[in-house]
Amino acid sequence: MKRTALAGLFICAALIAPSAFAAEDLCDTQLKGVENSLASSEAQSEGLKNDIDKLLKDAKAAKAKGTDAGTKDCIELTSQAQKKIDDDQKGDQ
């Protein structure tokens, strides 16, 4: 009985751990993507640049918490920043 319970715990841990790492990877990937988009985009208003800089700062602070909620906040904030950049680029075309 104890072996079965212990095996069940190992299986649960093995299933849960990859999703946590995937979220952290997504946060890092999106941070780099926003930074690259910001660096490569041509014309941006000063207000938009300030908004995106604040979102990036908040996303990095959320990531630094090292919690699942912080990672989720990082992903949400970087998504907002990328959307603002994309919307601005669509408006320029």
pLDDT tens-place string over residues 3-57: 554 445 445 444 454 454 556 688 999 999 998 888 877 657 788 889 999 999 9
Q: Is 92 exposed, middle or buried (0-12, 13-18, 19+ CB in 10 A)?
A: exposed
The verdict on residue 13 lying in a domain is no
Domain total in the chain: 1
The verdict on residue 1 lying in a domain is no
Domain assignment of residue 26, given as a range: 18-92
**pLDDT at position 4:** 54
The verdict on residue 9 lying in a domain is no
**pLDDT at position 93:** 54
The verdict on residue 77 lying in a domain is yes
Kindly tell me if the per-residue pLDDT of 76 is higher than 90: yes
**pLDDT at position 86:** 86
The verdict on residue 62 lying in a domain is yes
The verdict on residue 25 lying in a domain is yes
